């Protein structure tokens, strides 16, 4: 199984660390993971939602993580790449 699309999503935000308009969205093929990235000019906001898509009334959880767009976002992208390239 490859996670290239998710790695590319983080690499794209890292490449555009100075900012972008609107939202960038990653959604897994099974629709059980969604990450929405926004840039306000100072920070990158990652809104992450996980849910049990196999059950109509399955569990759901969400979190918002705010990171600095430079080195901190680069470290996040590197960690994602490392984790998913195993």
Residue (of 26, 18, 49, 24) closest to 37 by Cα position:
24
Pairwise CA distance, residues 50 & 59, whole Å: 8
Give the dihedral sign, CA 64/29/5/39.
Answer: negative
- Give residue-wise pLDDT tens across range 28-82: 988 899 999 999 999 999 999 999 978 878 899 999 999 999 999 999 999 999 9
Domain around 12: 4-84
| Structural domains of the chain, count | 1
- Give residue-wise pLDDT tens across range 11-20: 999 999 999 9
Secondary structure (3-state) at 46: strand
> Residue 11's domain is classified under what CATH number?
2.30.31
């Amino acid at each position: 199984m490859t996670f290239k699309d998710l790695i590319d999503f983080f690499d794209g935000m890292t490449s555009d660390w100075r900012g972008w308009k609107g939202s960038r969205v990653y959604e897994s093929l099974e629709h059980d993971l969604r990450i929405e990235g926004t840039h306000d000019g100072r920070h990158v906001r990652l809104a992450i939602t996980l849910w049990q898509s196999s059950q109509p009334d399955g569990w759901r959880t969400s979190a918002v993580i705010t990171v600095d767009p430079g080195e901190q976002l680069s470290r996040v992208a590197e960690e994602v790449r490392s984790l998913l390239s195993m």
